[in-house]
């Protein structure tokens, strides 16, 4: 976990919170996002989203393009 950010998407007592996480594993970077009125749920959603993106990047490696 490189970064964990919490912000409010809406105002008031029932505000929608958004969590953004930045994850790094084996040289791969992934951003995960989650939103929910409960910041604990938003955090879990963001972390799971980031882990899923890391798994996708591992199974779909980007081909490097060599410039001429």
Tens digits of residue pLDDT in 38-63:
999 999 999 999 999 999 999 988 77
In a domain, 44, yes or no: yes
- Check which CATH number belongs to the domain holding 30 and give it: 3.30.160.270
Residue 12 domain-assigned (yes or no): yes
Tell me whether residue 40 is in a domain: yes
pLDDT confidence of residue 66: 64
Q: Does the residue 47 lie in any domain?
A: yes
- Kindly write down the DSSP assignment for every residue of 13-60, as one continuous string: TTPPEEEEEEEEETTEEEEEEEEESSHHHHHHHHHHHHHHHHHHHHHS
Q: Into how many domains does the chain fold?
A: 1
Residue 44's domain spans which residues? 3-59
Specify if 18 maps to a domain: yes
């Amino acid at each position: 976990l490189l970064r964990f950010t919490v912000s409010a998407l809406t105002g008031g007592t029932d505000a929608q919170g958004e969590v953004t996480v930045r994850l790094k594993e084996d040289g791969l970077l992934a951003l995960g996002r989650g939103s929910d009125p409960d910041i604990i749920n938003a955090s879990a959603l963001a972390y799971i989203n980031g882990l899923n993106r890391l798994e996708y990047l591992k199974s779909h490696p980007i081909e490097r393009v060599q410039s001429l």
